[in-house]
Amino acid sequence: MDKYEKVTELARRRGFLWPAFELYGGAAGFYDYGPLGGPLKRRIEDTWRKFFVIEEGFAEIEAPTIGVEGVFQASGHLSGFSDPLTSCGECKEIYRADHLIKHIVEVPDALSNEEIFNIIKDNEIYCPECGGNLSNVYEFNLMFKTMIGPGNKMPGYLRPETAQGMFINFPRLLRYFRDTLPFAAVQIGKSFRNEISPRQGVIRLREFTQAEAEIFINPANKTHPKSSEVKEIRVKFYSQAAQERGEPEDMTFGEAVDCGIIAHQVLAYYVARTYQFLLAVGISPNLMRFRQHKSDEMAHYAADCWDAEVFLDRLGWIEIVGIADRTDFDLKAHMALSKINLKVFVPFNKPVKRQKLMVKPDMKALGPMFKGKAKAIADALKALNPEDLRGDRIKINIDGEIVELDPSLVSYGIVEEEVRGEEIIPHVIEPSFGIDRIIYAAMDHAYYEDTVEGETRVVLRFKPAVAPIEVAILPLMDREDLVAPAEKISDELRSLGLRIDYDTSGSIGRRYRRNDEVGTPYCVTVDYETLEAGTITIRDRDSMKQVRARTDELAKKLKALFEGSIQFQEAGVPINANEQ
RNA sequence: GCGCCGAUAGUGUAGUGGUUAUCACUAGGCGUUGCCAACGCCUCGACUCGGGUUCGAAUCCCGAUCGGCGCACCA
């Protein structure tokens, strides 16, 4: 059994991840989070919130998972997500139908499936592999479609990314942030892609969870005020050049920006924050690297794009986060389709004085003269240069018709005006996290086996901040005199908000092993000394060592352990379990 | 979507055209047990689904579903 199998088997058996709809035969690409997977996911999301909502001050919003057509027309998902396919009747090979006719038609995108098929037939195109006949052209769209309301009037689509929710709320977000750049909004939620062939468990899902941030910045200033806080952090960069060589290179974020490997400070800062977040949820730094998109895989509008990749047993290097400078692509697209101004007014430090040509058409004269065309003529006049306005006759072109005017019909002059700022379209830095993949990676990297007295001990070495169970309360034996105080301790710790598991079944060793397997950082045992001396023992998952502490100090000690303000040995008096 | 391979308790497995489907671990109960998967007894628990062949199918055949691998896809 390889590690992938061990981890997925453990995840299934102990209630982290379950294939969805098992009762009815299942469906590929859908998973349930079980009683331990649910809390693990929530705690990883909460850690993300701590990093990006609390510490970075980004605004968390929640948009519908179903979007109307315009959203995905503008985003490009409706056209870009829908590929015309054709397959060979002989060898069953599948082809992009539009790619087969690229040498015949300039823009195959513009054609219907039927037109593409006709071109394939008329030009006698056969299967490039075996020469067989090609089937009808059909559409495969990765968007899940539905209907909003009765009557099939309004199509809706399950969102393929959470990002659009931030883009289409841009005007309200801008107002919320008092019309000032930079600002950012985030969203944690479900996205949906009707993948052709979901594989590899939770790595490729049809319904999955994303945590995305859209950071709107002024394109003229791609520096970050906190970049000095991360510039000494050293990671493995797998830049375009490094990929050519086949070897990632170790350097600090400061160096990566200085030598131009990362496009700019803002991008570097959020790549660094991503690194810190991934460490916080238990991704191993040795099994992590940052890979730059090659120019041919980068979206055409992106200025630079870095993926956080983790190494997973059997699966290899898997992308878990993408951090892209999407420039002004998204806002421009929504501006073009919605006709809503999504620009931001950015004031200059000092107002600029500027000479400006002022053209004043004499509307009183032009109106009666040209009637309906008067406005078009006036607009054309305003667009002219001073040279054109001089001379005996002014010639303008209105929809191909040359109109000649007497110069007396328009007056003009140079005026001085004060310009206080300019309208810009913000650029967007987008860190996009695949939460499900991060959860799987956190389990894979936490998985650990050792051998104790000839038995294999399986441990998930979760960070306490993400462990689904934080403390197990275990009466040494299932006896009333031990059970009663143990229940009391459980209730007290629960009232403090700790995730407690209380277990009396089987031997103490068996319960330790069970808790190791689900990653419980600390086990507390209640024994006869609890009754006599008012003390309990605390057991550390990773070292299997125990200390004895006062029962009335337990909550305080646990809190300190979780905060990392004390070492385990400082939580009480060390004891050697084997001597007892 | 295509090709190859697979599917038996919670997990890992044995096995067969014909009595009540094997074993281990797990889980639950009782007893025992003073700190790292102890022990004894008891108990729960499965042939992925649909169709066909057959007197009889969990076993053979076909299809579907799910999973693994390869190809394709991954805006």
Residue nearest to nucleotide B39 (CA to C1'): A507
CA-to-C1' span, A22 to B8 (A): 17
Q: Which nucleotides of B are covered by protein (CB under 7 A)?
A: 1-3, 10-12, 26-29, 32-39, 48-49, 65-75
Confidence grade of residue A109 (pLDDT, cut at 50, 70, 90):
low
Closest nucleotide relative to residue A530's CA, C1' based: B34
In this model, does residue A167 exceed pLDDT 50?
Answer: yes
**Long-range contacts of the stretch A253-256 (C-beta < 8 A, 24+):** A253/A227, A254/A227
Under a CB-based contact definition with an 8 Å cutoff, are residues A551 and A557 in contact?
A: no
Report DSSP letters for A466-513, one per residue.
T-S--EEEEESSS-HHHHHHHHHHHHHHHHTT--EEE--SS-HHHHHH
| Separation of A506 CA and B29 C1' (Å) | 12
Beta-carbon count within 10 A of A266 CB:
21
Cβ neighbours around A359 below 10 Å, total: 16
Instruction: State CA A562 to chain mean position distance.
Output: 28
CA of A363 to C1' of B54 (A): 98
- Can you give the distance from the CA of residue A2 to the C1' of nucleotide B6 in angstroms? 17
Segment A81-106, tens digit of pLDDT:
666 777 766 656 667 777 777 667 65
Domain ranges, ordered by start, for chain A? 3-70+147-331+428-435, 82-141, 350-419, 469-579
Q: CB neighbours (10 Å) of residue A554? A: 22
pLDDT at A580: 42
Residue nearest the C1' of B74 (CA based): A195
**Minimum-distance nucleotide, CA of A548 to C1':** B35
Q: Give CB contacts under 8 A, 24+ apart, made by A500-503.
A: A500/A469, A500/A470, A500/A471, A500/A472, A500/A473, A501/A469, A501/A471, A501/A472, A501/A473, A502/A472, A502/A473, A502/A474, A503/A472, A503/A473, A503/A474
Q: CATH for A469-579, among 3.40.640.10, 3.30.1330.60, 3.40.50.12160, 3.40.50.800?
A: 3.40.50.800
**A52-86: pLDDT as tens digits:** 999 999 999 999 999 999 999 899 888 766 667 77
Cis peptide preceding A368, ω within 30 of 0:
no
Round to whole Å and give the CA distance between A446 and A450.
13
Q: Which residue is nearest to nucleotide B35 (CA to C1')?
A: A577
Q: Which nucleotide is nearest to A531 (CA to C1')?
A: B34
Q: What confidence tens digit (pLDDT) does each residue in A317-371 have?
A: 999 999 999 999 999 999 999 999 999 999 898 888 888 777 777 777 777 777 7
Q: What fold, for A3-70+147-331+428-435?
A: BirA Bifunctional Protein; domain 2 (3.30.930)
Q: What is the pLDDT of residue A579?
A: 45
Residue A107 has pLDDT above 60, yes or no: no
Query: In the structure, how far is the CA atom of residue A133 from the C1' atom of nucleotide B8, in angstroms?
Result: 44
Neighbour-count burial of A175, counting CB atoms closer than 10 A to its CB (0-12 exposed, 13-18 middle, 19+ buried): exposed
- Nucleotide nearest residue A161, measured CA to C1': B75
For residue A111, what pLDDT is reported? Answer: 65
pLDDT at A470: 97
Residue A519 zone, left/alpha/beta (φ > 0; ψ -120 to 50; rest): left
- From the CA of A503 to the C1' of B47: give the distance in Å: 34
A147: which DSSP letter? E
Dump pLDDT digits (tens) for A128-151.
666 677 777 776 778 898 999 887
Q: State, as a whole number of angstroms, the distance between the CA of A430 and the C1' of B47.
A: 51
- How far is it, in rounded angstroms, from Cα A52 to Cα A56? 5
Reply yes or no on whether the pLDDT at A430 is more than 70: yes
Give the pLDDT of residue A81. Answer: 67
ipTM confidence: 0.90
CA angle A442, A444, A446 (to 5 degrees): 65
- Among the residue ranges A171-175, A260-264, A388-392, A571-575, the one predicted with the least confidence is A388-392
Token pair in block for residue A294 = 């090659």
Q: How far is the CA of A28 from the C1' of B67 (A)?
A: 9
Nearest protein residue to nucleotide B72 (CA to C1' distance) is A94
The gap between A98 CA and B75 C1' (Å) is 15
Which CATH entry fits the domain spanning A350-419: 2.60.40, 1.10.287, 3.30.720, 1.20.1630?
A: 3.30.720
Q: Can you tell me which residue has its alpha carbon closest to the C1' of nucleotide B2?
A: A92
**DSSP state at residue A23:** G
Looking at chain A, the whole-number percentage of residues with pLDDT higher than 70 is: 94
Arithmetic mean of pLDDT over chain A:
89
pLDDT at A360: 75
Name the nucleotide with the smallest C1'–CA separation from A536.
B35
Say whether A81 sits in a helix, a strand or coil.
coil
CATH topology of domain A82-141: Herpes Virus-1 (3.30.40)
